[in-house]
Amino acid sequence: MRGIRGVGRNRMNKYNIRKATQGLANYIIEHTGELGKEKGVAIAYDCRIDSLENAINTATTLAGNGIKVYLFKSLRTTPELSFAVRKLKTQAGIMITASHNPKEYNGYKVYWEDGAQIVDPPKEYNGYKVYWEDGAQIVDPQAKGIVDAVKAVDIFTGAKYISEKEAIEKNLLVYIDESMDTKYLEAVKKNVINKFVPTRKEFKIVISPLHGTAGRPVKRVLEEIEFENVFVVPEQFEPNGEFPTCAYANPEDTSVFKLSTELADKVGAKLCITNDPDGDRVGIAILDEENKWFYPNGNQIGVLIADYIIRSKQDLAKNATMISTIVSTPLLDTIAKRNGVKTFRTLTGFKY
């Protein structure tokens, strides 16, 4: 669910937030019973205007239905919310965010117990059937059921909710502390392919979260794997839902790199990394051999990553598989095939 903030049935406001949450609560109770209520729901939110208020309204509506809630104390990234769902073994997760959309927007993403976003893909996409790696066609049994449950809720009278204070007193609302950050970043570091890059201590990197949630975790994880020259864009490092330096905080838009490349030129960095407001998109800028900034697109970044992973992992298993999307470059398939790696394609987005 995503839309412009404001008053009305077609806007993001507390009434639609409660309606959506009540529908989800009804679905959880109907399909998982007391176990689902006890497992609960993890909630995170980003830097956007009203995100905290929306998160509280979400939490107190779930609590009003007797469902336990785990709410982050302050803003976090979407990937960490997904991680928390699995780590806490909750029944579902909710991320309050509108991703990279303009500042007027906010949104609401739902995740199931596996940490994956709930989606409702078609059985075919332009005649192209899409399958998971086990050969099963993609389906999402929760999606339609949750949507139907939400539609059945009256926007004004259908939601059950209690106060934040009452939810805490009943032990239905628990705040997630900073220890989850450490667990998440430790899991991230385990996936670092080469922990001993010879030039890591000298190599200079400029990072920017574009006023969003990713600044501190990205800086922390880079420093913990011994990249000692990490520079942040000060004008864009602190969270700000107004996005004062970039009207469209999308790292795919090269204009958002202006402050990053200016700082990089000043400090002598050759790599800039930017993230979108909820930290699940990344863009990079690279200083080329002619000292000009090059902005690789998603396909080019994907090819670089795929080639690097395959080259670095000399002990690839016989069933090694690369998963990409139907809109990704076919060069990925060529690289995989030449290295004996299987390929599967899904619909667009990590949620699939």
- Tell me how far apart the alpha carbons of residues 290 and 140 are, in angstroms, rounded to a whole number: 49
- Residues 273/218, Cβ–Cβ less than 8 Å: yes
Beta strands 204-208 and 173-176, pairing class: unpaired
Q: Which helix (H) or strand (E) holds 295?
A: none
Q: 3-class SS at 301? A: helix
**How many CA atoms within 13 Å lie on the side-chain side of 107?**
17
Residue with tokens 């004004």: 156
99 as an active site residue: the answer is: yes
Q: Which residues contact 348 (CB under 8 A, 6 or more apart)?
A: 325, 326, 327
Taking alpha carbons only, the member of 205, 323, 223 closest to residue 269 is 205
**How many CA atoms within 13 Å lie on the side-chain side of 200?**
12
Torsion angles phi and psi, residue 4, rounded to 5: -75, 140
- As a whole number of Å, the CA-based R_g of the chain is 21
CA distances from 180 to 73, 87, 213, 318 (A): 11, 9, 15, 35
Torsion angles phi and psi, residue 221, rounded to 5: -70, -35
- Tell me how far apart the alpha carbons of residues 255 and 245 are, in angstroms, rounded to a whole number: 10
Active site residue: 51, 74, 82, 99, which one?
Answer: 99
Query: What's at 38, amino acid-wise?
Result: E
- Tell me how far apart the alpha carbons of residues 72 and 75 are, in angstroms, rounded to a whole number: 7
- Tell me how far apart the alpha carbons of residues 22 and 289 are, in angstroms, rounded to a whole number: 56
Q: 3-class SS at 238? A: coil
- Residues 230/215, Cβ–Cβ less than 8 Å: no
Residues labelled catalytic = 99
